[in-house]
Structure 1
Amino acid sequence: MTTSQQHGADDDLPIRDGMIRLGQALKLANLAEDGAQARTLVEDGRVQVNGEVETRRGRQLHPGDVVTARGSSVRITAAD
């Protein structure tokens, strides 16, 4: 079992800058097709961060955070 699976994530999403906004992460992880869909998912309460519903599209995510939407999860990781 990989580290991401232990934390409930299907995949890892590496980031370079130590932080990424929720809306950006949803698009990069292919959990949303575009910014409009990301906004709708978040506003409708269909996105979770670390197991809790998140309604702020601008929420800052850091390595270790797990984002869940549309039946899939990704874990934010630091890029090498």
Structure 2
Amino acid sequence: MLDFTLEGEFIHLIQLLKAANIVQSGGEAQMVVSEGAVKYNGEVDYRKRLKVRRGDIIECRGKIIKVK
């Protein structure tokens, strides 16, 4: 599990995937989200501009990100 410390109120899902080194680019992040390869708090989510906040858990490519 990766712990990601949020510095603001939220981070967009695509930005989080890049910041956590799950994907290499924004285009790749958009692709994995649109393919349904990302879970937000246990549910598949297709929103690319999703605002991820403290306490949320993101799963992608076998990795789990806990936002603090």
Shift of 1:32: 1.1
Q: Which amino acid aligns with 1:37?
A: E
**1:47 and 2:33 aligned:** no
Q: Which amino acid aligns with 1:18?
A: E
Give the 3-state SS of the residue equivalent to 1:55 in structure 2: coil
Matching of residues 21-40 of structure 1 within 5 Å: 21-40=12-31
The unaligned stretches of length 5 or more in structure 2 are: none
Shift of 1:43: 0.3
Q: Which has the larger radius of gyration?
A: 1
Taking only aligned residues, the RMSD between alpha carbons, in angstroms, comes to 0.6
Q: Which amino acid aligns with 1:66?
A: I
Q: Given the two structures, how large is their TM-score scaled by the length of structure 2?
A: 0.96
The number of residues matched between the two structures is 68
Percent of aligned positions with the same letter in both sequences?
Answer: 32
Runs of 4+ displaced beyond 3 Å = none
Partner of 1:12: 3
Q: Given the two structures, how large is their TM-score scaled by the length of structure 1?
A: 0.82
Deviations 1:3-45 (A, max 9, x none): xxxxxxx011111112000000000011111101100000000
